[in-house]
Structure 1
Amino acid sequence: MTSRLVSLRVARFASLVLTCVLGACTSDDKPPGPSSRAPGVALLQIENAQVAPGVPVRLRCTADDPDGDRLVYVFDWGQGGTLPQSPEVDSGTTSGVDVPISREGTYQARCRAVDTATTVGAWSPQLSFIVGEPPPDGNRGLQVEVVGQGRVTSTPSGVDCPGTCSVRHSAGTRLTLEAVPASGWQLLGTSACTGTGRSCELLLDADKVVTVRFAPALDTALSWQRTGAQLPTSPEWSPDGTLLAAVDGSVSTPGMLRVWDATQGRVKRQTAAVAPARFSSVAWKPGSGAVVAVGLSTGSVAVLDAVTGVTLHEWTVQAGNVRALAWSPDGTRLATATDASKEVHFWNPTTGARAGQTLTAVDKVRRLAWSPDGVRIAMQVGILSRWVEFHVVGTQGPEELLPDAAGFAWSPDGTRFAAGFQGEVKVYSTAGYRVEATHAGAWGLATQVDWSADGRWLGVAGSAARSLFVLDAGTGAVVVDASQVTTDPNAQGYDAFRFHPTKLQFVVVDDLPETLDVFTVDSGEASYSRREVLSHRYTVRAAAWRSSGEVLASSGDEGRVRLWNRAGDSLRTLDGHGGQAVRALAWNTAGTRLFTGGDDGVINAWNADDGTLAQLPIRRETTPALEVYQVAPSPDGVRVASAMGVTTVASHRGVIRVHHVQSGAELFRFPDGSRQVLSVAWTPEGRLVVAYFDKSWDVWDPVTQVLTSVASVADMTSLAVALSPDGTKLAFGGRPGLSLWEVSTGRQLAQTPFAFSPETLAWSEDGRRVAGGGSGGQVFVWDTSVPSLPATVIGFHDNTVSAVSWGPGGNLVATGGRDGALRVWRFTP
């Protein structure tokens, strides 16, 4: 990865106040800007899991910031109103709040971090606490809630359940819970412990509620998926070029290994390391179809089947993060280097035994490359000052050292190599290390150099922002200038460049903003085409199926709208919101136009078939700057309703407008813009229903211009709302769970006893089911024909579920998440 200097920002953070209600904070996450990466996933601790009414609950939160920024932690347990926040602390420091709660009950709490640039991190997993008087007998109770299909047992005995079960033990008892997924299912996690390990130990010092989450295995439930990535690094083609692998470089994620179908760009496999380890590097075994070696942050190396994710062998190599590894050309040895040592070690990848003399570099090694004959190994060394060392395997001390060399690549036959310098790429003869040719170019420091498999081309990526060149290896002439124009002032050079093993293609990677693109070069025409592999860089904000079910639209924080066919192939990208987050998507009834709304305050209408704008955008006023987070065209296509807001202005948190589609003229504005809006939708008869976070809603009749308000009897905060297809019912998601309400009367029709808090919801076409998800990552389907609203887990994300759309026909459910993934699940009633 290219070394980057972290810019120092002046902290104007001492008086940060998050003036947003619960619904606003949930729906108003900001993507990390170009100069600020999002804080990592927070970890919540509750120091007293059971308290008497009025006694403060001590909530503590911890998170790391990748930029080292100071943090404030925000806490939520379903109380509504302004979210409490901790004092500002250093990254990685624990802080919290003490909150007295008078109402007895079981609560679910979570926390998140906000950095000095107000960039918001992901919510922590939820933990439960109890407000109530402790029992007089000195015993404490444990309630285990199993969500999904699996079994949980305990030592000492007493817990043995799917479903919900409970046990009582003496205060201070230590219990170990063992979670075993059912066949075809996998364990997602246990609320009392971190990671996905099956065993979880806890101290029963108070009454506790523990949730154990299971989900169907991806191979059985998933139709297709597209993903983003977290600071991607180490892109590598499989030996036959059919697969492409990369790992996440973020310290706040599990360092996911992702494997894509190299032709279609669909994700074949995502594999996470077992906490606390992270994957940090990857290399394909030569001549193999699917075997990769991965370096881990804990000083170990694992050999995996990249298609199945199964670990074939794992062993410890040395202390530190294994950030460089390389297979010998015959696949019999593996070289490794960590960030804690200057040593390079050699291993038998089958047994994990040492397979050669340790070599020592002048400084820590960034990348390793065996010569094609297996005699030498080149080491790219240094961070600020860079050089390349050449060692003969089995011989101590470098044979040669090239100062100031940044990029490096062997020629396919190993008789030559290329090295990148400031404004130059030099070609050397391996015998004698003599310069044969010097090629100059406008790429700045040539940080990335690669040689095509047929030996005809040299690829160069430089420190100059987004510079990319393909050179004739013999003459140095520029065959293709594939440099990308960028308006990002923080954009720098690409972090990696790798030629395809059989085609005139190459992949480039940049960690920030997250980029993984495949370029196809036509040397005869001196042209190229570019394909984006990552679907969305950060959170997938919205997903919407076309009425025909043949096209799925998705949008994300990076400001793009992507269209996919039913099989998951990319159709086109719509870019009309100036790089700002697109939070709202909606098709017209005929499926001919797609309406989009973004943080730029603009509503666009797109022609679905060719991706062009159907008309001039409907624009906002500039004071205050309002962000569009809901959009809904009327059934007749004449009007479009939208919800706009800005959390920092109390009177403009939920501004509701209705515009004429053709002219853009404003037809109606709701009088109160202070409440957070969770849903804007039209009934089949053409009435507009607007639902709010406090379980109230308004109904506007465009014919009579009458606005009717309905308030439910509930006093709990909602996180998501969806209007039924027939316009008669509203599904509210929040604490304590999912509930259904009659639109005309405000009467509650059904409520689930399951205390999961959905944050996004969608009805099936026939109105019999509701799909949704939330901070736990599970995707649920609720049966609305039964008063208890029984739930089925159909899928999952590795972070909060942020978008859901039910495909026509009812057998596909599309979801998006804060993990950057867009997933389409098969559903069989």
Structure 2
Amino acid sequence: MDKLDPSDNQAALTRDFPTLVDAILLRGPQAVADSIAVRERDGTDPHSPVGHLRWLLLSHAHLLVRSHDRSEVACVLHDLLARRPSVSGWLAGAERALPPVRLTVRGPASAPDDLRLVRVLTGHRAPVRSIEWSPDGERLATVGSHDTSVLIWNPRDWTQERRIGIEGAALDVALWSPDGRRLAVLGRSDRFPDLGEHRENDRSGREGRVEHVHTVLVYNTVTWEEIAATHTAPRSGFSGRPVIAWSPDSRTLAVGEDIGVRLWTVDEEERSPWLLPGGRVRQVLDLDWIPDGALTALTQGREQVPGGASTMPESLLVTWPDPGAAPEYSVWARGVPWDPITGVRRRPGSDRVCVYSRSGVALCDTAAERVLWQEERAPDDAWTKAVEWAPDGRVLAELRSRHQGWSDLVLWETGEGSEPSVVARIECAPEETTALAWSPDGDLVATGGDSGVRLWRPEPGTSHRSGFDTRVSTPVWSPDGDALAVYSPSVGEWSVVDARDPSEPVLSGPECPFPRLDPAAQEELIEAARHEGRDFDLYTSMYGPYAPDAISPGQELYALAGRGSQITLFDLVDGGSRRLGAGQPEGRWMLLRFTPEAERLVSLHVRTLTRERDGDWVEELVLTLWDLATGRQSACERMLQTWASDTHRVDHPRALAVSDRHLAWCGEDGTIALHDLETLKPLSRTRTSGATRDVEFSPDGNTLAVVGEGGVRVVDVVHADRG
């Protein structure tokens, strides 16, 4: 690896494709991109080949980090460059880095090119739930939802300054104090466990009673030592989470609970006082504590108001002008939209607040206690997930997301005497995106979601996306393999795309336009088989009605892996059932799939090998090929997954596809993998933006249709000896 030493000639690294692949695998895409900026002439000009290469590495870093091996990096990078001939022609030697059999994504592009995207931060191993800049802009705190960590970034070079690990935690938000000396973290952890317990034989989940408790931790941002901790009031069910806000003097945290707001003075151990607005509040949804001392809460009231086809709890804005000294408050703005994804943000230096729910935004005047303007949006349009004011209060950023689909960043100009108007729109990614934050200088807007944190310049610009706005499922090939039908659950209709260019879908109606197995007929056969087997009981199965199962292409056989570790095979023609395999491997079954001729069956199960000292799970994913004539295993492939080390991390497969020569699977992280069917040994893998949910081979077995949050991806199986 001497050729990768930073002192080596940078031109050789960037111009030679195999050397570039090795550098990305060894050092990471962001480090290579930063090195290009320092050492290459035109390295920061995105219109030059080397500058555009640098931008690709920064903007698509989420596809290149934590790669399985060198060939995965090569395939992903090759697909990124295939649509950019000015860069791909500038490089040399791609054939020396690509595997003999590889997967190549035909299209559409995983995300549109938009030079307003500065870079992607990829340090988290879970979706990013919260983004918060320090008041001086010198640090950025990001929260991963279930990777038990808060990451602190240095914006000067975007390196990780610190990782705060919180064992056994599922975190929601991190919040800097106004003086920047403290960081509060809200989530659920083992520190303060839930109250109550589930009853062992409670099938409905209603007999036991569990009250959920959240944890608030406060850290010193100089030493990063924990200096205080408290728990929130227990609450029954999943009625949302508490919310927090710092006081202007950085001494007190307001904790919004079910019936009011608790004022917790971090440095004192005295009993925390409560702000209770006259018994009118059922739940506090969001808080905003502004520098002049006023505290505003968006709450759910106890009374009902008309809402669509039924009634819904009223929404209220509650304002305490001086919450620390006087309990006086005002309650107003009844009927402002709210839902579980909702919030309130006060405009800097103004009496205006923005109240948002997933159905849109509304501007309110707190002094006059009235709604000034409310956005009108169709019910089936994208949901608002977050809003934030620019530091100068002139622009409002709104993050929209189609559930399991594309995310958009909309920038509104909000003048005093006119209605807000859209001044810029940025298409973020085909994934769930939920976090939003402005830098204190207003130069950057950060969005967070499944793939990490994206940093944008808030400028007008253009980008074009094609394909689907929402998640699609159930890929069905036309008999000739020239077209592909997919189903959009949110729309309730099928669409057809050209397999050669799947960028423009055409709606085709509520019925699949191509021949496919009748789902209703399959269900009847499956139910009959289960009854005949007599040994399958939904209530004793660890999976219940969601047991992993598969039906053969000709509907002759049905396989079920819902009980223990063995697979039960049912004959749907002649009747009867039998078990596969003499042994019982430990673990839980995830997926089953028959080969096209139904002479073999592929299964996937996952088992836990050990639990590391720091609390990370180490798992083994096991692919097995079964010979149905003998009932024995004919091949087995094991893939290790460990959260303690990203080096060996593999994606969890979500679906399997089998042709006469290959096995393919797709995963939650956008992974698409190809294996040899006879040996189950891996041949190639690549990645795309957005979680993938289903995969299907074309009739000739040479092409894959992969569907999920990013729409449709058509992926070719390319053999080097065939060109």
TM bucket (normalised to shorter chain) is 0.3 to 0.5
TM-score by length of 1: 0.39
Identify, as 1 or 2, the structure richer in strand: 1
Higher relative contact order (CA 8 A, sep 6+): 2
